[in-house]
Amino acid sequence: MRKFEIVDNNFLQYGIVPQKMPQRATKTSAGYDIYSPIDITIMPKTMEMIWTNIKACFENDEVLLLCVTSGMGKHGIMVANTIGVIDSDYYGNISNDGNLGFRLYNFSDKPYVIKAGDKIGQGIFMKYLIVDDEPEITNTRVGGFGSTVKK
């Protein structure tokens, strides 16, 4: 089952329950628009993390890609790591319950103002493939944002 939900109250950032759930703009849109729960300004040549207080549930052979919108790109805003890759086991993790976050970078020379309810990106669900001769993987996720990076 593929769906968006509000994170558990214990993991809400800013003390704000989202007023807008992700939604597609048109019936043929690939991406679900995702909205900011807060007002924030991203100053030139800096980045800010915006937690959406939304989590996504989807199948084990799928991935959720977090991207900026083309309109944001016109203003010099990008996801700091260029694209967010959300694995299915991020949902409900012990660190943040799967809270989707956008770390946005402003590479323009002007401040970029975001108001609560503004689009801050889009999420695109995709199937993925694995190699046939892959050894069995037994590792499991033990945390949230950035938890699979080797320390």
In a domain, 74, yes or no: yes
In a domain, 58, yes or no: yes
Is the pLDDT reported for residue 4 higher than 70?
Answer: yes
Is the pLDDT reported for residue 139 higher than 90?
Answer: no
d(CA 136, CA 19): 42
In Å, what is the CA distance from 94 to each residue of 35, 45, 65, 142, 143? 24, 32, 21, 7, 6
Least confident of 41-45, 72-76, 108-112: 72-76
Domain hosting 86: range is 3-23+31-127
In a domain, 116, yes or no: yes
In a domain, 133, yes or no: no
Average pLDDT in the 27-50 region?
97
In a domain, 79, yes or no: yes
Count structural domains, the chain: 1
Q: List the CATH number of the domain containing 87.
A: 2.70.40.10
d(CA 44, CA 39): 17
In a domain, 139, yes or no: no
In a domain, 88, yes or no: yes
Per-residue pLDDT, 148: 54
Per-residue pLDDT, 146: 57
Is the pLDDT reported for residue 140 higher than 80?
Answer: no
In a domain, 145, yes or no: no
Average pLDDT in the 95-118 region?
97
Average pLDDT in the 29-54 region?
98
Average pLDDT in the 39-58 region?
98
